[in-house]
């Protein structure tokens, strides 16, 4: 069978048998990836695509990095899987210690899981149980406060604190009821609220709800700095620090969902570092293994952990865990990923890339059909003022010209691997500009290229 025929066969099997996540299969056009290297995906037909969304926000150091590959192979030669129920693999133990040392001081306990949704489930269940059996139990504190347009995953608990109806409305009979505060969007402010007053406005609105429901709130859960699935909603500076103060003031736990924004995506290792915040629970995933293998983690404090201690008959243990929690092959990838942050000076090298991306999005904002250009770290987005189909047309144009970005009806966003080069940023943005000009029929103004 020729390479062309083999690619066609795979496309047919893909269409006929593979039910894809978050995909309307009636409209799906097969895109089968056979390999990847650096910041590029390689199709079964040999075509290459710059990975403009870091394989759904998780790839960090590029695909097929030899250091991560080697770490996984070496681990597989020793053990592929060791259960975390009643024992711990040495590799996973080392990762737990590494995460405690790396995250904000006070997060001393780590429970591993396989995906971001599960990391959130752990935090929700642990927060609920904490109030049932802490030194001064308050069993009435059993609800959660989340934010408008939030997304925390698709398992039942995580979906219950989600705020995007198109994902979860159908399942509302299965979900528990949460309290919702307005999403703190720094670009789309309520009428009469000036940009410089945005942080205070949203904190005041949030405090009203926390104060009203403090007697029944177990925790507040939020994606810090950037709500990704909401449309790259970016928060006003200082909001996270203010939220931490409100939670402490009203005796409510704080859960930070850094599954998408952790591991350098905001320009720092963790988003909570921007406001020097230590949450009660920090949920990590995606970039934890560099985007290589499924793994997530929920970190918490000794104050929370101690409430679960007792003898076997006490019933105080956290009865939560899945078969592959703490998988050592994933842990080996995660340790190698963290090593690369140091050896390749990933965060230091990111500064120039963030600046270049900002320059290119400023140019994007000059187009008459582009508005609300925004950026946090290596995450950048802008909205379209034109027909909602522009987003899909731009994504289709990009794919045809060697760039993979997620098709979004009213917006364009990029979140490439941290390993992306300046030249690749320019290549990515050139294609997006060309796609917008093609879709709208309005070219960008000519001018000097970004150096």
User: Which CATH number does the domain housing residue 84 bear?
Assistant: 3.40.640.10
Overall pTM > 0.95: yes
pLDDT band at 56 (very low <50, low <70, confident <90, very high): very high
In a domain, residue 393? The reply is yes
Encode pLDDT of 243-267 as tens digits: 999 999 999 999 999 999 999 999 9
Regarding whether 222 and 361 lie in a shared domain, the answer is no
CA 65 to chain CA centroid, Å, is 21
Contacts 24+ apart (CB under 8 A), 240-246: 240/271, 240/272, 240/274, 240/275, 240/277, 241/275, 241/276, 241/277, 242/199, 242/203, 243/203, 243/206, 244/275, 244/277, 244/278, 244/279, 246/203, 246/206, 246/207, 246/210, 246/220
Q: CA-CA distance, 350 to 378, in Å (whole number)?
A: 8
Residue 438 CA to chain centroid, in angstroms?
31
Q: Is the pLDDT of residue 345 over 60?
A: yes
Instruction: Please indicate, yes or no, whether residues 113 and 150 belong to a single structural domain of this protein.
Output: yes
Question: Binding site for pyridoxal 5'-phosphate, residues?
Answer: 116-117, 257, 322-323
The reported pLDDT for the residue numbered 4 is 87
Is residue 1 very low, low, confident or very high in pLDDT (cuts 50, 70, 90)? confident
Instruction: For residue 182, count CB atoms less than 10 angstroms from its CB and return exposed for 0-12, middle for 13-18, buried for 19 or more.
Output: middle
- Domain of residue 434, CATH code: 3.90.1150.10
Does residue 332 share a domain with residue 228?
Answer: yes
Owner of token pair 């604190």: 161
In a shared domain, residues 48 and 108: no
> Same domain, yes or no, for 79 and 56?
no
pLDDT level of residue 422 (50, 70, 90 thresholds): very high
Q: What is the mean pLDDT of residues 237-248?
A: 98
- pLDDT average, residue stretch 60-84: 97
In a domain, 19, yes or no: no
Residue 209: the pLDDT is 98
Residue 202 lies in a domain: yes
Per-residue pLDDT of 94-105, as tens digits, reads 999 999 999 999
pLDDT tens per residue across span 19-44: 999 999 999 999 999 999 999 999 99
Q: Look-up: residue for tokens 């000036």?
A: 194
Q: Does residue 5 belong to any structural domain of this protein? A: no
Backbone phi and psi for residue 238, each to the nearest 5 degrees, phi listed first: 95, -10
- Do 119 and 184 lie in a common domain? yes
Evaluate whether residue 24 is within a structural domain: no
Same domain, 210 and 136: yes
126-143 tens-digit pLDDT:
999 999 999 999 999 999
Residue whose token pair is 């921007």: 274
Q: Are residues 208 and 320 in the same domain?
A: yes
What pLDDT does residue 387 have? 73
Distance CA 426, CA 431 (A): 9
Does one domain contain both 49 and 118?
no
Pairing, β 40-43 against β 253-257:
unpaired
For residue 389, name the pLDDT band (cuts at 50, 70, 90).
confident
In terms of domains, do 118 and 47 share one? no
Q: What six digits make up the tokens of 222?
A: 């939020």
Q: Give the pLDDT score at 449.
A: 45
pLDDT band at 358 (very low <50, low <70, confident <90, very high): very high
Q: What was the pLDDT predicted at 447?
A: 53
Does residue 2 lie in a domain region? no
- Identify the pLDDT of residue 325: 96
Whether 291 and 419 map to the same domain: the answer is no
Q: Which residues are annotated as a binding site for substrate?
A: 151, 286, 321, 406
Query: Does residue 327 sit in the same domain as residue 379?
Result: no
Residue set of the binding site: 116-117, 151, 257, 286, 321-323, 406
83 found inside a domain: yes
Please tell me the total count of domains within the chain.
Answer: 2
Domain limit, last residue, from 312, 343, 374:
343
Please, what is the average pLDDT of the chain?
96
Query: Is 23 among the domain residues?
Result: no
Q: Which of residues 308, 343, 378 is at a domain's end?
A: 343
Last residue of a domain, one of 299, 321, 343: 343
- In the prediction, which pLDDT does 63 show? 98
The parent domain of residue 404 ranges over 31-61+350-440
């Amino acid at each position: 069978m020729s390479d062309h025929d083999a690619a066609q066969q795979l496309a047919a099997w893909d269409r006929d048998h593979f039910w894809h996540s978050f995909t309307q299969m009636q409209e799906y056009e097969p895109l089968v990836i056979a390999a990847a290297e650096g910041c590029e995906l390689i199709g079964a037909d040999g075509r290459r695509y710059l990975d403009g969304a870091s394989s759904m926000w998780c790839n960090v150091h590029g695909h097929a990095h030899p250091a991560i590959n080697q770490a996984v192979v070496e681990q597989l030669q020793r053990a592929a899987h060791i259960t975390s129920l009643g024992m711990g693999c040495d590799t996973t133990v080392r990762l737990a210690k590494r995460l405690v040392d790396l995250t904000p001081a006070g997060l001393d306990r780590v429970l591993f899981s396989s995906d971001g949704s599960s990391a959130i489930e752990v935090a929700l269940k642990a927060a609920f149980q904490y109030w049932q059996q802490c030194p001064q139990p308050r069993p009435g504190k059993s609800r959660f406060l989340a934010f408008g347009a939030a997304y925390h995953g698709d398992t039942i608990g995580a979906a219950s604190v989600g705020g995007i109806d198109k994902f979860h409305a159908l399942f509302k009979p299965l979900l528990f009821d949460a309290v919702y505060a307005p999403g703190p969007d720094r670009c789309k402010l309520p009428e009469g609220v000036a940009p410089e007053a945005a942080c205070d406005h949203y904190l005041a609105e949030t405090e009203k709800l926390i104060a009203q429901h403090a007697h029944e709130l177990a925790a507040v859960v939020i994606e810090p700095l950037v709500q990704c699935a909401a449309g790259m909603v970016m928060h006003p500076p200082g909001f996270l620090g203010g939220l931490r103060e409100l939670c402490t003031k009203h005796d409510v736990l704080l859960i930070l969902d850094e599954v998408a924004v952790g591991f350098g995506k905001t320009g720092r290792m963790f988003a909570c570092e921007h406001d020097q915040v230590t949450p009660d629970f920090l949920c990590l995933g995606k970039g934890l293994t560099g985007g290589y293998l499924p793994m997530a983690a929920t970190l918490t404090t000794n104050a929370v952990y101690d409430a679960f201690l007792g003898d076997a008959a006490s019933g105080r243990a956290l009865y939560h865990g899945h078969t592959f929690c703490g998988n050592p092959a994933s842990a080996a990838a995660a340790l190698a990923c963290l090593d690369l942050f140091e050896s390749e000076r990933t965060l230091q090298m990111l500064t120039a890339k963030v600046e270049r991306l900002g320059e290119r999005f400023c140019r994007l904002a000059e187009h008459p059909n582009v508005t609300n250009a925004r950026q946090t770290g290596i995450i950048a987005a802008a909205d379209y003022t034109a027909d909602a189909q522009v987003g899909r047309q731009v994504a289709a144009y990009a794919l045809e010209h060697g760039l993979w970005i997620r098709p979004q009806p009213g917006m364009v966003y990029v979140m490439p691997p941290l390993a992306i080069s300046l030249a690749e940023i320019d290549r990515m943005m050139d294609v997006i500009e060309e796609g917008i000009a093609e879709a709208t029929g309005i070219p960008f103004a000519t001018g000097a290229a970004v150096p």
